[in-house]
Amino acid sequence: MTRAALAILAVWTGLTAGIASAASPPPPPATAEAVPRASLADLAWLAGRWVGEGLGGIAEEVWLPESGGAMLGTFRSLQGGQVAFYEILTLAANASGQLELRLKHFHPDLKGWEERDQVQAWELTRVEGEAFAFGPIVLRREGAESLVVTVTMKLQDGSRKDEVFRFRRAG
């Protein structure tokens, strides 16, 4: 891996460590009226291959259609033509019936960032039109061919930064 890719990976590792803390502590219990309701059918448009930009490089995301009650996604970040990291993601209803986004990060050699039995997980917190917020991550459809993913990260100094990934449908 190039020195530039290692530097970007180090920054991203520090930033994504803040994703978990951005989701913690959990919000107070919501009233039944305040809990957003959506199903995997509402996110069926996400299925397919998406290619775009984010973190100063190329970003690719692929989502499989719902099967067995879940959608499965993969993400790849390329910096300077080299893989910087991967993610595996799922969208599924949790034990309380609420949609939940789960993800796990991997280095290019597939060694995990999170501990073996740990995943990052966020319940659906907001639905606004074609935007679905899972804690600090918002998946927003912009027309049939465009996906914008915004990740709000907590930086080491306590400030927050939005990282925006702009994708186009590639298949």
| pLDDT tens by residue, 119-129 | 999 999 999 99
pLDDT at 121: 97
Q: Cβ–Cβ contacts within 10 Å for residue 18, how many?
A: 20
pLDDT at 26: 44
Intra-chain end-to-end CA distance of the chain, in Å? 29
pLDDT at 1: 46
Q: Which domains does the chain have, with CATH numbers?
A: 3-169 (2.40.128.20)
| pLDDT tens by residue, 36-89 | 789 999 999 999 999 999 999 999 999 999 999 999 999 999 999 999 999 999
pLDDT at 171: 72
Closest listed residue to residue 166, CA positions, set 152, 151, 146, 144: 146
CA dist., res. 23 & res. 91, Å (int): 17
Q: Given the structure tokens 């400030």, which residue do they identify? A: 159
pLDDT at 9: 39
Closest listed residue to residue 163, CA positions, set 58, 65, 55: 55
pLDDT at 36: 79
**63 or 35: which leads in pLDDT:** 63
pLDDT at 4: 41
Closest listed residue to residue 86, CA positions, set 115, 47, 64, 112: 112
3 state SS of 8: helix
Please check the confidence at residue 99 and state whether its pLDDT lies above 70. Answer: yes
CA dist., res. 84 & res. 156, Å (int): 21
Q: Cβ–Cβ contacts within 10 Å for residue 99, how many?
A: 22
Residue 29: which pLDDT band, with cuts at 50, 70 and 90? Answer: very low
